[in-house]
Amino acid sequence: MKITDIITRNNIFLDFTSLSKKALFKNIAEKVNKQTDANQNEILDKLNHREKLGSTNLGDGIAIPHAKINGITKIFSLFIRTENLIDFSSSDKKGVDLIFVIIAPEESKTEHLLALSTISKFLRVEKNITKLRKLKTSEAIFNLFLKSSAS
């Protein structure tokens, strides 16, 4: 699986403003609902439930909130870069500004884990993280995803 298999040009959001994780998850649920017809309340509930199990904050300002829901047939992902740091209650006490969201079908087994692995592999390259913070347009970020998929 390549990162461009799960994140499309239209699902990259820059300079996103949310004052809290709660507000961020609400915005995510709205965006997923508009593009998939999945139930917005279920998306929000599942994201919050997953976060209660343990923070999806990886540290260094990066989080990968994820959930499995009914109503979709394939993996749906977003990349969000926020203007402000959002508290994800992590041990490093740093806020999050780079967010990869994965919404998978409820019955997904390996595909869900493969999407997490694909994003994690991309994030292991330090220069990718630096570029995610510096690039100015969603097109430039998508091109970064394309280049990483080619290597």
Positions marked catalytic: 66
User: Does residue 93 contact residue 59 with C-beta atoms inside 8 Å?
Assistant: no
Angle, CA 122 vertex, CA 118 and CA 128 arms, to 5°: 160
User: What is the C-alpha to C-alpha distance for residues 29 and 49, in angstroms, rounded to an integer?
Assistant: 13
111: which 2 tokens?
């595909």
